[in-house]
Amino acid sequence: MAYENLENVKVEVAEGILTLTIDRPKVLNAVNAQTVEEIGAVFSEALKDPGVKAVIVTGGGEKAFVAGADINELAKKTPITGKETSERGQQILSSIERFPKPVIAAINGFALGGGCELAMACHIRIASDKAQIGLPEVTLGIIPGYGGTQRMARLVGKAKAFEMVCTGDRISATEAEKIGLVNHVVPSESLTMECRKLASTIASRGPVAVRAAIEAINSGTDMAFDEGQFLEATLFGLLCATDDMKEGMSAFLEKRKAEFKGQ
Ligand code: COA
């Protein structure tokens, strides 16, 4: 599977885990339009790539995950191009959120603006103890435009979302863990290892089940409770027809490790 013509991101696939590194060190990995497209292209390719069982998204260098959208580009936006930029970013980040294989953000430093939004679109966020997270858009006279106002409120509740979005202040990794914005905080030197461990664990589970779980959680949280439960029951029923289900149950009863085929 080819991950070609990429200037601003790096891709490495090892042991079923694709690591996508946003790599624009001169601007602390700020994402311009091309970078957003490259991120989208990598996910489109990874969707079709049977060799990819999980994805880790991180930032190049020691200092930043992603320090936001590239302000050099943002400064030139008009109402028309601004809306287009926002919609395109939303589209690509939604494709990450709906990605049928687990996506983990390894937040290795500043995750600001679009960087925080990118991390929030991932299924799980692990932060280094050096990370700082925030949505500073109001300090620039704009608001988050890649789904940030929506995902922040859904992840941490409206009260904290109002505070984060309206002050634009950054919070520490520890504070982010406290409010449920990140799953775990780990020492910076073990961030990569912890993310790989988590990705491998999920990748070893029944892939069709993991895919259904992602769909149930994503779609269900935007539905009425009973509709969400209906979706859950329907997916549950469908999973009962899979080879993975037969294998998982047989392996348990035979006291051996399941060998899932994703079928
Ligand atoms: N867009 C464009 N360039 C950016 C950037 C962004 N979002 N974030 C950082 N950079 C650039 C800086 O302009 C600087 O470039 P220079 O070396 O040519 O001056 C370089 O990256 C290093 O950043 P610097 O500000 O010197 O580092 P710092 O450690 O003092 O501060 C930050 C780090 C992240 C706190 C600070 O860069 C910052 O506030 N960035 C903007 C964050 C933001 O508002 N993001 C939301 C955008 S919608």
Q: Nearest C-alpha to atom 32 of ligand 1 is from which residue?
A: 67
Assigned token pair, 37:
């497209």
Q: What is the pLDDT of residue 184?
A: 98
56 Cβ contact partners less than 8 Å away, ≥ 6 residues apart: 17, 18, 19, 20, 103, 104, 105, 106, 195, 196, 199
Tens-digit pLDDT profile for residues 142-176: 999 999 999 999 999 999 999 999 999 999 999 99
Q: Is 117 a catalytic residue?
A: yes
123 Cβ contact partners less than 8 Å away, ≥ 6 residues apart: 97, 99, 102, 103, 104, 214
150 Cβ contact partners less than 8 Å away, ≥ 6 residues apart: none
Assigned token pair, 46:
């990874």
Which residue among the candidates 45, 137, 175, 215 is catalytic per the annotation?
137
Average pLDDT, the chain: 97
Q: What is the pLDDT of residue 114?
A: 98
> In Å, what is the CA distance from 205 to each residue of 2, 8, 161, 190, 200?
26, 32, 33, 23, 9
Mutate which of 27, 93, 133, 167 for ligand 1? The one with the most ligand atoms within 8 Å of its CB, which is 27
Centroid of ligand 1 to alpha carbon of 67 (angstroms): 6
Sheet-wide strand order for 64-66: 64-66, 110-112, 132-134, 171-172
Which residue among the candidates 4, 38, 97, 117 is catalytic per the annotation?
117
Closest atom of ligand 1 to CA, residue 74: 48
Closest atom of ligand 1 to CA, residue 136: 44
Q: What is the pLDDT of residue 1?
A: 62
For 245-251, which contacts have Cβ atoms below 8 Å and span 24 or more sequence positions?
A: 245/206, 245/209, 247/206, 248/206, 248/209
Find out whether the beta carbon of 137 lies less than 6 Å from any atom of ligand 1.
yes
Q: List, in sequence order, every residue forming a beta bridge with 106; answer none if it has no partner.
A: 126
**Left (φ > 0), alpha (ψ -120 to 50) or beta: where does 29 sit?**
left
Question: Among all chains, which residue has been given the structure tokens 């497209």?
Answer: 37
Q: What is the pLDDT of residue 4?
A: 86
For residues 128 and 110, what is the distance between their CA atoms, to the nearest angstrom?
A: 10
Given a contact cutoff of 8 angstroms between Cβ atoms, the answer to whether 185 and 128 are in contact is yes
- pLDDT tens across the length of the chain (263 residues): 678 889 999 999 999 999 999 999 999 999 999 999 999 999 999 999 999 999 999 999 999 999 999 999 999 999 999 999 999 999 999 999 999 999 999 999 999 999 999 999 999 999 999 999 999 999 999 999 999 999 999 999 999 999 999 999 999 999 999 999 999 999 999 999 999 999 999 999 999 999 999 999 999 998 999 999 999 999 999 999 999 999 999 999 999 999 999 99
Given a contact cutoff of 8 angstroms between Cβ atoms, the answer to whether 38 and 7 are in contact is yes
Number of H helices, E strands in the chain: 11, 10
Helix ranges, 98-206 (H): 114-121, 148-156, 158-167, 173-178, 191-204
Find out whether the beta carbon of 112 lies less than 6 Å from any atom of ligand 1.
yes
Q: Nearest C-alpha to atom 40 of ligand 1 is from which residue?
A: 67
Q: What is the pLDDT of residue 10?
A: 98
